[in-house]
Amino acid sequence: MAKIYFAGQDNFGNRGCEALIRSNVKTILQHMPAAEFIVPSHAPEVDAKQWPDAKQYAVQFVPAEPIPSAIRWWSRARRVLKSLDAHPPKFTVSANTQAHILSADALVMTGGDIISLDYGLGSLYYWMRICETAMNAGKKTVLWAGSVGPFSKMPAVEKLMIGFLQRFSLITVRETASLEYLQKLGIENVQLVVDSAFALDFEPVSEDLLQLFKQAKPVLGFNVSPLIRNFREDADSKTALDQEVVNFLIATLQQNEVNVMLVPHVDPLNGQTENSDSAYMSQILDQLRAAGFGPDVVQMLPRTLNAAQLKDVIRRCHYFMGARTHATVAALSQAVPTTSIAYSIKAKGINKDLFGHLDFVLETPQVTSASLQQHFNLLISQRATIQQYLADKLPVFKSEAYRSAQLLQAMF
């Protein structure tokens, strides 16, 4: 029996995080049937409700490590002292987190793109210290099926991260771009795999949520997040971006060729609106309603669905366009023609490895009504070709989603 502590996870509000934990557990159990799992959460009881069957898979939710005050003070200080960038704040994780890590046989660092600059240095160093707690105790440590870096725009940080990455027992990455970057840095313990969420099973949703799919018209699943607004400099340009999205959906619905299902994929489980897809897309839906489009042609899924239930709805879509990476993974893994609205290396890397090109990637700074329409037209015109390609490619691709677990098993 092996006990696994998952780092890089602290809530299921991001259904991508939930999808990864569910998939990691599934793939590990296939290779290590007696494994047990420790899943940190800032709200263990709330996250457990998202996955009612978790206990039968030997999953235990425990309190996540709080953000230490040292990171907050360090973050304030580095605003005026940039020399602090490559000097992580010094703190020791809590006794509770230490106890859970030390009780495990291995720490698995999941979370997709946590080991990058995408979420700021404070976040990077927080997770780094948690991993180091296991490393310093001599535990097996695996950076799991992630997108790593790049750190090249901060050379001093990059040098620090090389030393950190070399300490992992094993690193698996989910796209060739990360593999090549790490090899360039001289990191040798790296293996190329596929994002484990490609192996996520779907859970059926209630029939009342599927009425839009029972009509004759095809359905476009559409996910857009407030993150895309970060690529606009001021309030006016952010508002203009919002209107571009609305204009695209209005034009699409006016053509009377498809219905639209808005699919939130990140929503805090406490109902907060910050970083909430539902809160953002509710404003879009309000404008579509004001333009005369009723629930018979456009709907939005409730924010209460879990990752597996969302995958059930997504698989029914004829087309999908999404900004959240694991919303697009849910679509691609079920052979749904998909445009990835990409803001980082991860979506581009996954598409490049799956298709061999980036034709179905729309970079976030380039989002306009016209570019969205162009991509949707591409999905329509190539739907049959895409579906056949994915039907042929996915069996091999999905098998590689289990490879991290296979490599983990070999360490025991």
Q: What is the pLDDT of residues 237-282, one digit of tens each?
A: 778 888 999 999 999 999 878 999 999 999 989 888 888 999 999 9
Least confident segment among 51-60, 65-74, 307-316, 374-383: 65-74
- Beta bridge partners, 363, equal 342
Q: What is the DSSP string of 37-97?
A: EEEEESSHHHHHHH-TTGGGGTEEEEEPPPPPHHHHHHHHHTTT-GGGGGSPPP----HHH
Residue 77 — very low, low, confident or very high, per pLDDT cuts 50/70/90?
Answer: confident
Q: What is the DSSP string of 373-385?
A: HHHHHHHHHTHHH
- Top pLDDT among 222 and 272 is at 222
Asked if 9 contacts 21 with a C-beta cutoff of 8 angstroms, the reply is yes
CATH code for residues 3-200+399-410: 3.40.50.11720
Q: What strands lie across the sheet with 140-146, from one edge to the other?
A: 59-63, 36-41, 3-7, 106-109, 140-146, 170-173, 190-192
- Element at 314 (helix H, strand E): helix 307-315
Domain ranges of the chain: 3-200+399-410, 207-336+338-381
3-state SS assignment for residue 339 = strand
Q: What is the pLDDT of residue 203?
A: 95
Q: What is the pLDDT of residue 343?
A: 75
Asked if 241 contacts 339 with a C-beta cutoff of 8 angstroms, the reply is no
- Residue 255 phi/psi, 5° resolution? -70, -15
Give CA–CA dist 5/81, Å, rounded: 35
Give CA–CA dist 410/412, Å, rounded: 6
CATH code for residues 207-336+338-381: 3.40.50.2000
Q: What is the mean pLDDT of residues 311-333?
A: 95
- Beta bridge partners, 59, equal 37
Cβ atoms < 10 Å from Cβ of 395: 8
Give CA–CA dist 376/305, Å, rounded: 26
Asked if pLDDT for residue 286 goes beyond 90, the answer is yes
pLDDT digits (tens, 9 = 90+) for 323-333: 999 999 999 99
First-to-last alpha carbon distance for the chain, in angstroms, is 10
Give CA–CA dist 144/112, Å, rounded: 8
Look over the chain and give the mean of its residue pLDDT values, rounded to a whole number.
92
pLDDT digits (tens, 9 = 90+) for 150-169: 999 999 999 999 999 999 99
Residue 356 — very low, low, confident or very high, per pLDDT cuts 50/70/90?
Answer: very high
Length of the chain: 412
Q: What percent of the chain has pLDDT above 90?
A: 78
Q: What is the pLDDT of residue 58?
A: 96
Residue 232 — very low, low, confident or very high, per pLDDT cuts 50/70/90?
Answer: confident
3-200+399-410 and 207-336+338-381 in the same fold: yes
Q: What is the DSSP string of 217-281?
A: S-EEEEE--GGGGGGSSSHHHHHHHHHHHHHHHHHHHHTTS-EEEE---B--TT---TT-HHHHH
Cis peptide before 264 (omega within 30 of 0): no
